[in-house]
């Protein structure tokens, strides 16, 4: 549990300066920030306005998935729309019924937008702004307010509502409705006004501007639009999460692109070679070769890829610091749900390195285990997104 919370804390602190939290907390908007690269898409930041209006404390929100804000009347179709927007890594603005901590329901305009890393174009975070939708009196068209009707139009939520489809809402956590909701038909859709939509858009742009500014000092620049590297494919955040669980040294290359560039590199690979992720993505694996690398081994690898077959070789590679190591390399094609080759996976094991012993398995079994895990991740992702790649 402590390691999970530490990961969540690092998720925010590693991208933004120490002053970012203070500046974001001073903003008047109700919003949350979630991490696209941590399993279950937890909330890593919640604004003071969000906490005040929702009735939750910071400790009750940070690390949680947005499903805790849903209830029995939350529209499943709306949740699916949010889920698909997250899968497709795009912005979305939608009306949504959520619940406060005390169990009372409320309508909000939910505006979600991805935050991209400039280094590799991947989604780093999602920002979700929540704007109250004031109910209009049907008789005279006036808005119902907290002072006039006793119904507090307080809005809150999170951009990670897509996962609620994976499990049923725990009805036992939803408390009885407050007396101030009498007369409110919560099943009736509540549309936002143009002014509320403009307010949400302005808030999103303002928050993205702050995040961009305070990422400059960390060297991990973020932006509101994808800055794709030339010749590189940006894999989905869901696939990125699945691949991140595989604790071995490996890379994925894209055979559909010229020169088969690397589109994913594991943390273990970066540690083994000494390169940063931005120095690896978009490049062909031959950059690991050097003057003493056997050209016949490179030719064997080339022929196996042309034949769409797996191969295992022992090759001399070079780290970033120019030191050499013998690489027990296994390369294998990875097919998507339609049976088409989507990637090639290359699994690296440094010969003679005891620290890379893994569950008592020999090198061959470790490599095959990694390939199997990658194949499951790719096929699951292509099924979930309807990829035809």
Both 200 and 301 in one domain: the answer is no
In the three-class reduction of DSSP (H, G, I as helix; E, B as strand; rest coil), residue 334 is classed as strand
Look at residues 188, 223, 258 and tell me which one is the last residue of a structural domain: 223
Residue 70: both structure tokens together: 């849903």
CA–CA separation, 236 and 280 (whole Å): 18
- Residue 103 resides in a domain: yes
Both 205 and 267 in one domain: the answer is no
Both 317 and 218 in one domain: the answer is no
Give residue 302's pLDDT: 93
The number of residues in the chain equals 389
Both 218 and 269 in one domain: the answer is no
pLDDT band at 361 (very low <50, low <70, confident <90, very high): low
Q: Are strands 43-46 and 92-99 parallel, antiparallel or unpaired?
A: unpaired
Both 149 and 259 in one domain: the answer is no
Both 51 and 189 in one domain: the answer is yes
CB contact at 8 A, 309 and 352: no
pLDDT band at 343 (very low <50, low <70, confident <90, very high): very high
CB contact at 8 A, 343 and 378: yes
Could you report the per-residue pLDDT of 365-385, keeping only the tens digit for each?
A: 889 999 999 999 998 876 654
CB contact at 8 A, 336 and 378: yes
- Number of independent structural domains in the chain: 2
Look at residues 192, 223, 254 and tell me which one is the last residue of a structural domain: 223
- Residue 258 resides in a domain: yes
Across 116-125, 184-193, 315-324, 360-369, least confident range: 184-193
- Residue 27 resides in a domain: yes
Could you report the per-residue pLDDT of 273-307, keeping only the tens digit for each?
A: 999 887 888 889 999 998 899 999 999 999 999 99
- Residue 230 resides in a domain: no
- Residue 201 resides in a domain: yes
Both 212 and 241 in one domain: the answer is no
- The predicted model scores a pTM of 0.56
Both 242 and 370 in one domain: the answer is yes
Residue 357: both structure tokens together: 């012993």
DSSP state of 353: -
Q: Report, as an integer, the average pLDDT of 188-208.
A: 90
Radius of gyration of the chain (CA): 24
Could you report the per-residue pLDDT of 42-65, keeping only the tens digit for each?
A: 999 999 999 988 999 999 999 998
Q: Are strands 311-318 and 262-265 parallel, antiparallel or unpaired?
A: unpaired
- The CATH number for 79's domain is 3.30.450.20
- Residue 152 resides in a domain: yes
Checking if the pLDDT of 389 tops 70, the result is no
Helix axes 363-385, 237-244, angle to 10 degrees: 160
382: left (phi over 0), alpha (psi -120 to 50) or beta: alpha
Domain holding 338, by residue range, is 237-385
CA–CA separation, 120 and 241 (whole Å): 15
Both 250 and 127 in one domain: the answer is no
How many beta carbons lie within 10 A of that of residue 124, not counting itself? 24
Q: Which residues contact 21 (CB under 8 A, 6 or more apart)?
A: 12, 45
How many beta carbons lie within 10 A of that of residue 168, not counting itself? 8
Give residue 4's pLDDT: 64
- Residue 37 resides in a domain: yes
Look at residues 171, 201, 223 and tell me which one is the last residue of a structural domain: 223
More confident residue, 33 or 152: 33
Give residue 383's pLDDT: 61
Across 116-130, 165-179, 205-219, 317-331, least confident range: 165-179
Checking if the pLDDT of 142 tops 60, the result is no
Both 35 and 172 in one domain: the answer is yes
CA–CA separation, 211 and 163 (whole Å): 25
Could you report the per-residue pLDDT of 8-22, keeping only the tens digit for each?
A: 888 888 889 989 999
């Amino acid at each position: 549990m402590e390691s999970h919370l530490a990961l969540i804390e690092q998720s925010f602190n590693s991208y933004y300066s120490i002053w970012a939290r203070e500046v974001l907390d001073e903003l008047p908007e109700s919003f949350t920030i979630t991490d696209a690269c941590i399993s279950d898409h937890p909330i890593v930041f919640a604004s003071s306005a969000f906490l005040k209006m929702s009735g939750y404390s910071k400790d009750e929100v940070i690390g949680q998935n947005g499903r805790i804000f849903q209830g029995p009347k939350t529209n499943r179709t709306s949740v699916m729309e949010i889920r698909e927007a997250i899968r497709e890594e795009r912005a979305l603005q939608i009306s949504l019924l959520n619940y406060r901590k005390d169990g009372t329901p409320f309508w909000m305009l939910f505006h979600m937008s991805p935050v991209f890393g400039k280094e590799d174009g991947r989604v780093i975070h999602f920002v979700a702004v929540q704007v109250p939708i004031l109910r209009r009196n049907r008789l005279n068209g006036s808005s119902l307010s907290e002072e006039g009707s006793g119904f507090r139009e307080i809005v809150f939520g999170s951009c990670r509502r897509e996962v609620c489809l994976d499990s049923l809402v725990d009805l036992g956590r939803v408390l009885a409705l407050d007396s101030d909701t009498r007369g409110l038909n919560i099943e009736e859709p509540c549309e936002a006004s143009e002014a509320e939509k403009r307010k949400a858009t302005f808030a999103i742009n303002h928050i993205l501007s702050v995040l961009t500014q305070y990422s400059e000092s960390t060297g991990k620049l973020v932006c509101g639009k994808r800055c794709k590297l030339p010749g590189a494919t940006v894999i989905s955040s869901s696939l990125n999460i699945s691949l991140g669980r595989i604790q071995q040294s490996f890379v994925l290359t894209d055979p559909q692109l010229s020169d088969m560039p690397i589109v994913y590199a594991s943390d273990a690979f970066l540690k083994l070679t000494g390169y940063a992720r931005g120095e690896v993505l978009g490049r062909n694996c031959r950059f690991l070769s050097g003057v003493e690398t056997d050209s016949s081994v490179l030719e064997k690898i080339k022929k196996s890829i042309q034949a769409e077959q797996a191969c295992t070789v022992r090759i001399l590679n070079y780290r970033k610091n120019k030191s050499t190591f013998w690489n027990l390399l296994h390369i294998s094609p990875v097919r998507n749900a339609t049976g088409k080759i989507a990637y090639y996976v290359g699994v690296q094991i440094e010969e003679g390195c005891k620290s890379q012993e893994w569950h008592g398995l020999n090198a061959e079994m470790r490599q095959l285990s990694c390939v199997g895990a990658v194949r499951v991740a790719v096929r699951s992702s292509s099924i979930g997104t309807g990829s035809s790649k």
